[in-house]
A and B are shown apart, each in its own frame.
Chain A
Amino acid sequence: MARYGMALDYKNCINCKACEVACKEENGILMGADKHRIWVGVKEIKGEYPLLDIVSSSFEPSQCQHCDSAPCQEVCPTNATYYDDNGVVRVDPDKCILCSYCMNACPYDARYVDDRTMTVDKCNFCSDTRLARGETTTACQATCPTKVRTFGDLDDPESEISVLLRTREHFSLKSHLGTKPKLFYLT
């Protein structure tokens, strides 16, 4: 058993969106801008041309935070959202009744409706696909031109992600909410 997490060297991100396409192709996600498991957040730049605030324009690659204390799991009335053995927050399509409480509860806006399975689905670190085949990277990590992501086992002190988190400063998104995210942004 592992406890999977992901470190993001987010300053590398050039907003090319290779990860979004790789995710859709790998996991068979439907077309549509509202059908994203993974995305790059962009802020419109501050200032007036040509005096623009270069640091105000950043790209923030993101996806489900796989919280250790996930609000979406807490509110799920049917236990369709659950933690698997690897600490990955998963959805059981047989149990999901599409009540969408999870969509409201998630502070990261990481849940979306899959119209085929009628499930409020989410990123599952490619657990059904790549991990099931024995691969050790997610589709988004593998394809990234500038190698933003490192996926791995947080419980293994020798894993690359553990080494990165020991040696590099990092932060989590909305950590004040007590969600204990397992996505870590390297600074």
Chain B
Amino acid sequence: MQVELSRRKFLQGTVALSVAGGSAMSATNLFASTESPEKKLSITTKTGAAKEVKEIPTLCEMCVNKCAAIARVEDGIVTKLDPNPMFPKSKNMLCPRGNAGIQALYDPDRLKYPMIRTGEKGEGKFKRVTWDEAFRYITEKTVKILDEEEDNRSTFLFCAGEGMAEHTFQTFYQAFGSSNWLNHSSICLQTVASAYGVTLGAYPQSDLENAEYIIMAGANRAEAIVTPDTMDIFKRTKGRGAKMVCIDPRFTNTAAKADQWLAINPGTDLAFVLALTYVVLDEELYDKAYVEKYFNDFEAYRSHILTNGYTPEWAEPITNIKAKEIYQIAREFMAHAPKAIYYPGRRSTFAKSDFQLRRAMAIFQALSGGIDTKGGLVFGGKIEIEGHESLMPLYDKAKERGVVKTEAGYADCAVVSGGGSWLAWRNNFLEGKMPYSVRGMFCYKHNPMQNMPNTKKTAEMLKKMELVVCIDTMPSDTVMYADVVLPECTYLERTDPVKTFGGTEPALAQRNKVVEPMFESKPVNEILRGLTKHLSRPLFEVTKKYDSEVQDALTEEDEEAYYEEEFDMTRMYSHDQEVLNAHAVHAHEGAAEALKKYGIYYPKMDQYYKQLSANEHQYYPEKEKFYSVGEGRPQTPSGKVECNLANMSSKGIDGMPTWREEYRFSVPEGKFRLMTGRHAQYTQSGTSNNIVLHDLMPENYIWINKRVAKERGIAFGDKVEVASSTGSTVIRAYPTEKIAPNQVFFIHGFGAESSALTWAYKNGGSDNAVIEDVLEPVYGAAAMHETNVEIRKV
């Protein structure tokens, strides 16, 4: 008890440091500027007769990139989104999804009012209620559950998708006091980000503007657009400054723009990197000075690679890449070092070996010396901003995260990260393995029904939850299972927390509200303001009833003052986002005004930023760019590249990247390995109802090898059923030679089951109805490319 108490005090101390003194800000000072972001225009486009035209800088939310856009508003209607050239990250571009963002705002299907479920879960029958009614309903149910569970706050699960306001929702989770937080990490880039983190100390960026040699493996930058990488690289391939080798089982658009494409067996990239490493160590092509200065356990790693015999000849039958090509790539890479990049990529986990693959890639890159240097991987600079207010009370009765433990550690994976393992959590919940019962769930901007493997299980989980609260903009498949639906406004209707973007050209960027929220939708900050007004005090009453520490404290302290200081959730949401943002950047003179006017700010922007030509802009002068911030020093605590992770070995994970026979690619005769992926015109399920994007590609198609399709009598456009042990989906066929005979592929995000989505409903095939729930062993990430399927013409 004594220990717990002091821990609470300690945490309070750390929280206080990150709390912004919001009350010190004056709103009048903030908005006193006479300059407005509006620009008067004489002629308009759509009607030719608009009385008022405004141009408002904002940030796109059609995917995770957060590119800068300028919204043209004619008489209150958003008529066009244009690129904002001032942002160094997105450099004067908007992709097709960014252009189609208007439809996110004006989609007739969007959630308009708070709703409470009236039908069965999944049926999509709701009644419209007022915000107060919705909040009262949530409060009543939540208090009842927490009372029955004697204030175990962890009986509620909180989950969120990626986004600029994800943190705002997370502050609600923290103040609520649950230990069960699940976000996109374990179905997104957990393994790549963490593996680079433990090896190099950070998940670095790639200086593709200056690299001369690029290995682009398992990354599809032409279709899975990442800014600025996509813009930087494709102007320089095909003999125009950089040689790009594309390693991918499929002939993607990236392969089409590469200088060399090598078709690798799915999931065998680790063997490829180990063989590259073998050549570099065996022929002593590595940067000896860099290794001497910045490597830990180099000799052990060298010996590990050489004695295991990871030769190109060894890798050839595993990867399907010729040994001579592996020699060639290893030698060319090191010849161009340090202006050579093994591109880290940014994607979901595909294979069980993914963590080891990323470690091997990071070490291979470091062997070239191409770390924290121009043309290599870079850590970049970052502009500091202040965090905003948070509250983290310690609830004595709140149990720790719902995980299954064994004597050796955890049952599902070696490490439980902050974002948790979604699949392991869901499956433990369904199988009754949770150490306590979880009965409620708050879900923000997240679509578990479509975003993770095995849709049937997710549906079962949502049905079992007694209270599911969804905050979203669209009636997604998950919303169909909600008990209460709270409509968030779209990104064009809200100002989000200001964000700092690190890199060689760091900047701050802000999503400014373009138009007022439509219908009764609200930004999440205001939703939580309303919800906590209802919820905060009754929850404290439950705590008072069961929490002996709180009872003890109340014998000495005034209850009102104590509540306000430690448990009052409402104060986190009392300020509007504009006020919070101005405070976050107050250390930078002129930043708040610039962010409103231009959407972008960085020091000396007024001197540095200039237009060079119709298409090009300078953000920083060359000598001011943050190519190198530590003279090549890795950002690990030791300041070294960590070749051997001894603490991992104790958890049953290879301390050094090691090939295991179980990683070998094999598909039973007559079956196909299913691969999934992204697309330049769609972002997961979030854009699948966008009619403008449907105009470009009305549904997803399954890639199947042309010769195989012919044998099976499958022609373009034929419907086929794709089935695994998980389930099946029906999708139209695209026979092509761009894929191997024993593999099939289709893009993620289609085949919605929500009948409230006019265009997405039962349109195309759903990958997660078919993908088996396979866990990657380190973080319990979902391994998406481990499923074999059968194909049948229907």
Contacts and interface: CB of A to CB of B under 8 A. Distances in A.
Nearest to A23: B99
Nearest to B46: A28
Interface residues of A, number: 48
Contact of A25 (B80, B258, B737): B80
A158 interface: no
Interface stretch (A72-80, A96-104, A147-155, A177-185): A147-155
Contacts of B253: 14-15, 59
Contacts of A142: 82-83, 92
A18 B96 contact: yes
Given A48-B707, A54-B261, A145-B231, A59 B99 contact: no
A32 B81 CA distance: 20
Given A14-B680, A52-B261, A26 B238 contact: no
Contacts of A170: none
B95 A18 contact: yes
Contacts of B693: 21
Nearest to B100: A21
A141 B614 contact: yes
Interface string B691-711: 111011000000001010000
Interface in B471-507: none
A144 B67 CA distance: 13
A45 B258 CA distance: 14
B126 interface: no
A22 B101 CA distance: 11
Nearest to B45: A129
A44 B251 CA distance: 11
A45 B102 CA distance: 34
B93 A144 contact: yes
B98, B222, B256 — which one has the most chain A CB atoms within 10 A of its CB? Answer: B256
A150 B615 contact: yes
B738 interface: yes
Contacts of B41: 133
B43 A57 contact: no
B99 A18 contact: yes
A26 B94 contact: no
B240 interface: yes
Interface string B118-160: 0000000000000000000000000000000000000000000
Q: Which 4 A-B pairs have the closest CB atoms?
A: A50-B263, A21-B99, A14-B222, A16-B680
A15 B691 CA distance: 19
B739 interface: yes
A151 B616 CA distance: 13
B96 A21 contact: yes
A129 B43 CA distance: 8
B736 interface: yes
A95 interface: no
A126 to B, nearest CB: 9
Nearest to B102: A25
Given A16-B225, A25-B99, A145-B95, A136 B614 contact: yes
Interface in B566-586: none
A54 B695 contact: no
Nearest to B240: A11
Contact of A44 (B92, B320, B614, B736): B736
B255 interface: yes
A145 B705 contact: no
Could you say which of B43, B44, B705 has the most chain A C-beta atoms within 10 Å of its C-beta? B43
B436 interface: no
Interface string A36-60: 0000000011011110101001110
Interface in B664-714: 680-681, 691-693, 695-696, 705, 707
